[in-house]
C-alpha cells in the first residue's frame, strides 16, 4: 500500500529553531500523533509540511505528488485544521466554503453544508464570531467537503472543552475507519493519543527523539516500581531516569533485560508518564 505522506531528510531553519533530518511515512488508515513541548517544533514542522514555510532541503510527497513540483495537486489531497484560523472572518461560513472551495478540484458545497448541519454550524454566521470549538468544527467540515485523503491538524483540541475533545477524537477515528485516509495531528494533550494514536513521534529541539508505532513504543519503554533500595541497585545505561518518593520508587527503562525486572512491578507508561521521566532523565528538554 502506497503511503499518503512520505517525508525524507527534511530540514528547515526558523530563527533559532532547526528542524533536522525529519523522515517518516504515513500509510492510509492510521492516526499519527506528534508530541513535544511548546517551542519544540511541532507547529513549525506542520507548517513546513503544508509548504507554508519553505523547506531548506529534503522531500515532501503527498499521495504520490511531490510538494516541490506538484504543490497544487499535493495540497488538493490535504484537509487541514490549524490552531491559527486562516479563513476570512468577515465572510459567512457558507461564503468561506465557496470562496476557498474553489481552489480544490473535488469541493462539494452541498456536502460542506451537510457537515455544517452535522456539526451544528449555522452557514449564515460570520466566521469571526465563531467560538474556538466552532472554528475547529468549521475547518473539519471544510476539510471533509473536498474529499481530502490526508488530514493534518495542529493542536486541534487546544482550548476545547472535554466533551468536544472527546467528539473530536471520535471524528478522527471515523476518518480512518475505511482505510483510505489518515490523520496527522500535533498535541500536548497526550491522553488523547493514548486512546487513538497508531504512531507516535516525539520532537524536541527540532529533532525526532523517536518515531514508531504504539506497540513498539510499549516494548521499548517500561516503568519499574519497587523500593528505593531496589531502584538504586539498577546500575545500567538502560535506566533513563529514576524518581524516589515517599510511597515508592520508580524508574524508566529502555529495552530492559529480564534480569533487571525481577522482583519489580512492571508496567507500560502512559505518554504523559513517558515525557515526565524523559525530562527527569535529561533525555529531552
218: left (phi over 0), alpha (psi -120 to 50) or beta: alpha
| pLDDT tens by residue, 145-171 | 999 999 999 999 887 788 888 888 999
| Average pLDDT of the segment spanning 47-68 | 97
H-only helix segments in the chain:
42-49, 71-76, 93-101, 109-118, 132-144, 162-176, 190-196, 214-220, 228-232, 271-280
d(CA 150, CA 153): 10
Q: Indicate whether 145 and 205 sit together in one domain.
A: yes
Q: Indicate whether 139 and 235 sit together in one domain.
A: no
Helices 93-101 and 109-118, axial angle in degrees (round to 10): 140
Q: Indicate whether 158 and 242 sit together in one domain.
A: no
pLDDT value, residue 247: 86
Residue 240 lies in a domain: yes
Give the number of domains in the chain.
2
What residue numbers bound the domain in which 246 lies? Answer: 217-280
- The pTM for the full model equals 0.95
109: confidence class by pLDDT, cuts 50, 70, 90: very high
pLDDT value, residue 243: 96
pLDDT value, residue 165: 85
| Residue 283: all three cell numbers together | 533525555
d(CA 95, CA 126): 9
pLDDT value, residue 164: 83
Q: Indicate whether 60 and 185 sit together in one domain.
A: yes
From 156, 187, 213, give the residue that closes a domain: 213
pLDDT value, residue 159: 76
Q: Indicate whether 200 and 223 sit together in one domain.
A: no
Q: Indicate whether 102 and 115 sit together in one domain.
A: yes
| pLDDT tens by residue, 172-217 | 999 999 999 999 999 988 988 999 999 999 999 999 999 999 999 9
Amino acid at each position: 500500500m502506497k503511503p499518503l505522506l512520505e517525508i525524507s531528510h527534511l530540514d528547515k531553519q526558523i530563527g533559532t529553531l532547526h528542524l533536522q533530518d525529519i523522515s517518516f511515512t504515513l500509510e492510509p488508515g492510521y492516526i499519527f500523533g506528534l508530541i513535544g513541548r511548546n517551542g519544540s517544533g511541532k507547529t513549525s514542522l506542520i507548517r513546513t509540511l503544508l509548504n507554508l514555510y519553505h523547506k531548506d532541503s529534503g522531500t515532501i510527497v503527498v499521495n504520490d505528488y511531490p510538494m516541490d513540483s506538484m504543490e497544487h495537486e499535493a495540497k488538493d489531497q490535504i484537509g487541514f485544521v490549524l490552531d491559527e484560523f486562516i479563513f476570512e472572518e468577515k465572510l459567512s461560513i457558507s461564503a468561506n466554503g465557496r470562496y476557498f472551495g474553489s481552489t480544490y478540484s473535488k469541493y462539494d458545497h452541498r456536502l460542506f453544508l451537510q457537515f455544517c448541519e452535522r456539526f451544528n454550524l449555522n452557514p449564515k454566521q460570520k466566521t469571526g464570531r465563531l467560538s474556538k470549538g466552532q472554528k475547529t468544527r468549521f475547518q473539519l467540515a471544510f476539510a471533509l467537503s473536498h474529499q481530502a485523503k490526508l488530514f493534518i491538524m495542529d493542536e486541534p483540541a487546544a482550548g476545547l472543552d472535554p466533551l468536544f475533545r472527546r467528539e473530536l477524537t471520535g471524528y478522527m477515528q471515523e476518518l480512518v475507519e475505511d482505510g483510505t485516509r489518515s490523520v496527522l495531528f500535533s498535541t500536548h494533550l497526550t491522553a488523547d493519543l493514548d486512546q487513538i494514536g497508531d504512531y507516535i513521534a516525539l520532537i524536541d529541539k527540532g529533532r525526532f527523539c523517536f518515531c514508531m508505532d504504539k506497540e513498539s513504543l510499549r516494548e521499548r519503554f517500561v516503568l519499574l516500581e519497587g523500593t528505593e533500595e531496589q531502584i538504586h541497585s539498577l546500575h545500567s545505561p538502560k535506566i533513563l531516569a529514576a524518581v524516589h518518593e515517599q510511597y515508592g520508587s520508580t524508574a524508566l527503562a529502555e529495552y530492559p533485560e529480564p534480569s533487571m525486572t525481577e522482583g519489580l512491578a512492571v508496567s507500560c507508561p502512559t505518554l504523559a508518564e513517558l515525557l515526565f521521566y524523559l525530562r527527569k532523565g535529561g533525555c529531552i528538554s
